Amino acid sequence: MRYLFDNTMSRGTPALIAWLTLTTLVLILVFSLIVLALGLRDGDDRGFWEELFSSLLHALDPGTVAGDEGGAWRFVLTMLALTIGGLFIVSALIGVIAAGIDTKLADLRRGRSVVLERGHTVILGWSDSIFTIVTELSIANESRRKPVLVIMADRDKVEMEEDIRAKVPDLRGTRVICRSGSPIDIDDLTLTSHLDARSVILLAPDTDDPDSEVIKTLLALTHHGADGPTIVAEIRNPSNLEAARLVGADRTVLLDIQETVAKLVVQTSRQSGAAAVYIELFDYDGDEFYFLESHDLGRATYGEAQLAFEEATVVGIVDEGVPTLNPQPDTVVGNRTLIVIAEDDSALTDQAAAHTLPDPAQLGEPADMSERPTRAVLIGWNRRAPIVVRELDKYAPPGSILTVLTSFGDPVVPPVQNLAVTVVPGATTERATLEQHVVGGLDQVIVLCYSDHLEPQAADARTLVTLLHVRDILARLDAATPVVTEMIDDRNRVLAEVAQVDDVVVSGEIVSLLVSQLSEDRRLEHVFSELLGEDGSEVYLRPAGWYVQQGAEVSFATVVAGAIRRSETAIGYASEALGDGYSSFGVAVNPAKSRTFTVLPGDRVVVLADT
C-alpha cells in the first residue's frame, strides 16, 4: 500500500488534491458518526446529512466552533478536535489547490497550452525577419475575419509578445498567439494545431547550422503524412536544397536566401529605380500579385485584357497550372486564370472596367534595342558574390568588363562567358583605393557587405562608409551611375538613404517579404522565379519616348497600348515629377488607366519584357 501511495503521489498536484479531499471527507464523516452515535448534541436532533454539513463547516472555518452554545462539554471538545484536524488537512487542501492554480497560470503564461484555431498561419522559429513577416501578414489579413497568427519558438512567451508589441504596434485586427517550444519536437508542434493551419512559415534560425534545424523541423511537420497546409521554408545554403526537397515533398516551398538576394541585387543594379518596383510588388503595403479566376474575358486576347480593368493590371496567365508572365499579345485568354497586379484581393471581384481608350496618335516610335558592352565595379565579397557574378554574366553583352574590389580573402570567381573579370585586393573603405576604380563611364556599381567575415553591424558600418565615398566620387565626376548595395540590418537602410544610394537591397527584409507572399499563395513561386531569373520576363524601366510621344499629356491606357505594340506589359510609370507621393524614385506601380502623365525628358515606363 505504501508503494501504491508513492506511485499515486508521484503524479503531481491532481493526486495530492485527491488524497487530501478523500482525507477531508473521511474526517468529517467520522466526526459526524461520533456525534450521532453518542448523542453529543443536546436538545438538537439532526439528521445525518445536516450533521455532515455542520462537520464540514467546522473543518473549513475555525470560527464555527465559537457558535456552539448550549452544547455539552463533550460536544464542544469533539467539535474543537474536528476544527484542529481541519486546520491541518483542509488548509493543506486549500493550499495545494491554490498552488496548482498558480502552476497552471504559470504554464499558460509560458505558452504551453494547445491553440484551438483553424485556418490560421503558423510561424516556426525566431529571427529578426519575423517582425517584417508579422507586419506583412497583418496587412494581408485585413480583408479576413478574425485572422490569427501563431508563433512558436524556443523563447519565453512573454518576451516574444513584448518584442512584437514593440516592433509591430499596429496589427490591423490580427491576433498574435505565442507559444514556447521547440519546432523540432513533434509534441511541441501539436500546441500550434499546424495540421489545421492555412500555411506554415519555417524561419531559418540564427545558429551555426540553420539548415539542419530547418530540415529536422520539416521532418517533424511531415511526420503525420504528406497531407497538410503549405510549408514555406528558408534555406541559407544552396547545397541543402535537395535534402530539404526530399523531406518537404510537394507541400513545401523552399526559398534559397542566398540565390534570391543575389538575383535581386543583379536585377536592381541593371537600372536605377528597379528596387522600388520590386519592393512595391513584394510587400502588401500597396499593389501586389493576385490570381483572378472568374472573369468574362474568355474571347479576349491578352493584349485586350491588359486594357480591360481600370485599377488592375493584367500581367500574365496561368497556362496548364504554370503561371506565365507577359505572353504574346495575340494569345487568347479563354477560361484561364489571369495574373493581375491590384491593391487588394478583396477588390478583384468588384473591379471596374476601364473606359479610357488609348490614343493611337500619341504612341511613340520604335527604338534601337542593340546593347553595347558594359563596365561595372563590384565592391566587397561574400557567399552571394559568386551568384552575383554569374547572374551579371547572363545579362552582360560580350566584351563587358567587371572589376572586383575586396578587402577580405581570395575570391573564387565562377566561370563566365561575356564578362572579363579582374580581382583587385584593396581596402574598400579608403578613398584613394576607391578613386582608382570608381571612375567615369561606369554602367553600374554594386556594393556587397562582408557578412561572412564581420558581425552584422560591423559589416553594415563598413558598407555605409564605402557608400559615402562612392557617392561623393560619382558626384564629383558628375556621373549618373546607379549604385546598388545590400544591408544586413533593415535599420541601416535609413542611414544608407542619407548617402543617396539609388537602390538599397536589404537581405533580411526582401526575403521576409517573399516568405509572406508565398505563405498566402504558393503559385507565386513561379511568378517570382520568372521575375528574378534570366528565363521569361523581367522588370525593365525604359525611356517613355519608346512608347508615347515626348511632351504630350497621355493616359496610362495609351502607355499600355504602346507597350502592347512592343509585345511588352506596362505595369507602371517612373518620373521625377511624381516625387515621393507614390514611392521612392517617383515610381507609380499599377496607376489607373485614366490617370494622365505629362511625358518629360528622363521619364520611364516600367514594363515586363523578355529582353
Average pLDDT over residues 249-259: 87
Would the pLDDT of 513 be above 70? yes
Beta strand extents in 229-360 (DSSP E only)? 230-235, 252-256, 288-292, 313-319, 322-325, 337-342
Residue 246: name the closest of 224, 219, 221 by CA. 219
Q: Which of 216-230, 317-331, 500-514 has the lowest mean pLDDT?
A: 500-514
Would the pLDDT of 149 be above 90? yes
Residue 257: name the closest of 327, 196, 206 by CA. 206
Per-residue confidence (pLDDT) for residue 3, from 0 to 100: 81
User: Please, are residues 211 and 219 in contact by the beta-carbon 8 Å criterion?
Assistant: no
Per-residue confidence (pLDDT) for residue 67, from 0 to 100: 64
Q: What's the half-sphere exposure (Cβ side, CA atoms, 13 Å) at 326?
A: 24
Average pLDDT over residues 164-192: 91
Per-residue confidence (pLDDT) for residue 415, from 0 to 100: 93
Would the pLDDT of 515 be above 60? yes
Per-residue confidence (pLDDT) for residue 555, from 0 to 100: 95
Tell me the residue type at 43. Answer: G
Per-residue confidence (pLDDT) for residue 194, from 0 to 100: 92
Per-residue pLDDT band at 582 (split at 50, 70, 90): very low
Per-residue confidence (pLDDT) for residue 42, from 0 to 100: 66
Average pLDDT over residues 88-93: 76
Domains of the chain by start residue, with CATH = 2-109 (1.10.287), 121-260 (3.40.50.720), 270-364+513-609 (no CATH), 375-501 (3.40.50.720)
Per-residue confidence (pLDDT) for residue 93, from 0 to 100: 75
Per-residue confidence (pLDDT) for residue 581, from 0 to 100: 42
Residue 287: name the closest of 310, 268, 311 by CA. 311
Residue 228: name the closest of 265, 200, 186, 260 by CA. 200
Per-residue confidence (pLDDT) for residue 563, from 0 to 100: 95
pLDDT above 90 covers a percentage of the chain that reads 44
| Max intra-chain CA distance, the chain | 119
More confidently predicted of 167 and 249: 167
Range 293-307 burial, b when 16+ CB lie within 10 A, else e:
eebebeebbbbbbbb
Per-residue confidence (pLDDT) for residue 201, from 0 to 100: 95
Backbone angles phi, psi at 445, to 5 degrees: -125, 125
More confidently predicted of 31 and 224: 31
Cβ atoms < 10 Å from Cβ of 423 = 15
Would the pLDDT of 26 be above 90? no
User: Please, are residues 136 and 167 in contact by the beta-carbon 8 Å criterion?
Assistant: no
Do the bridges between strand 483-487 and strand 337-342 make them parallel or antiparallel, or are there none, so unpaired? Answer: unpaired
Would the pLDDT of 71 be above 60? no
Per-residue pLDDT band at 503 (split at 50, 70, 90): low
Q: Which of 75-79, 193-197, 226-230 has the lowest mean pLDDT?
A: 75-79
Average pLDDT over residues 405-433: 91
Per-residue pLDDT band at 100 (split at 50, 70, 90): confident
Would the pLDDT of 101 be above 90? no
Per-residue confidence (pLDDT) for residue 45, from 0 to 100: 65
Handedness of CA 69, 73, 76, 80 (dihedral sign): positive
Would the pLDDT of 167 be above 70? yes
Per-residue confidence (pLDDT) for residue 408, from 0 to 100: 85
Return d(Cα 224, Cα 246) in angstroms, integer.
Answer: 16
User: Please, are residues 226 and 149 in contact by the beta-carbon 8 Å criterion?
Assistant: no
HEC-encoded secondary structure of 542-599 = EEHHHCECCCCEEEHHHHHHHHHHCCCEEEEEECHHHHHHCCHHHEEECCCCCCEEEC
Per-residue pLDDT band at 18 (split at 50, 70, 90): confident
Would the pLDDT of 610 be above 90? no
Tell me which H or E stretch contains 108. Answer: helix 73-109
**β partners of residue 251:** none
Per-residue confidence (pLDDT) for residue 480, from 0 to 100: 81
Q: Which of 85-99, 234-248, 382-396 has the lowest mean pLDDT?
A: 85-99
Per-residue confidence (pLDDT) for residue 145, from 0 to 100: 86
More confidently predicted of 90 and 511: 511
How far from 146 is each of 99, 132, 200, CA to CA, in Å?
35, 20, 18
Q: From the CA atom positions of the chain, what is the Rg in Å?
A: 35
Would the pLDDT of 239 be above 50? yes
Residue 560: name the closest of 281, 309, 347 by CA. 309
Average pLDDT over residues 212-226: 87
Per-residue confidence (pLDDT) for residue 66, from 0 to 100: 65
Per-residue confidence (pLDDT) for residue 437, from 0 to 100: 94
Cell of 306: 491588359
pLDDT digits (tens, 9 = 90+) for 517-565: 999 999 999 999 988 887 788 999 999 999 999 999 999 999 999 999 9
More confidently predicted of 430 and 93: 430
Residue 389: name the closest of 410, 419, 425 by CA. 419
Per-residue pLDDT band at 174 (split at 50, 70, 90): very high
Cβ atoms < 10 Å from Cβ of 143 = 11
Average pLDDT over residues 65-81: 70
Per-residue confidence (pLDDT) for residue 113, from 0 to 100: 82
List the alpha helices (DSSP H) in 296-371.
302-305
Question: Over the chain, what is the mean pLDDT?
Answer: 86
Per-residue confidence (pLDDT) for residue 557, from 0 to 100: 95
Average pLDDT over residues 451-478: 90
pLDDT above 70 covers a percentage of the chain that reads 92
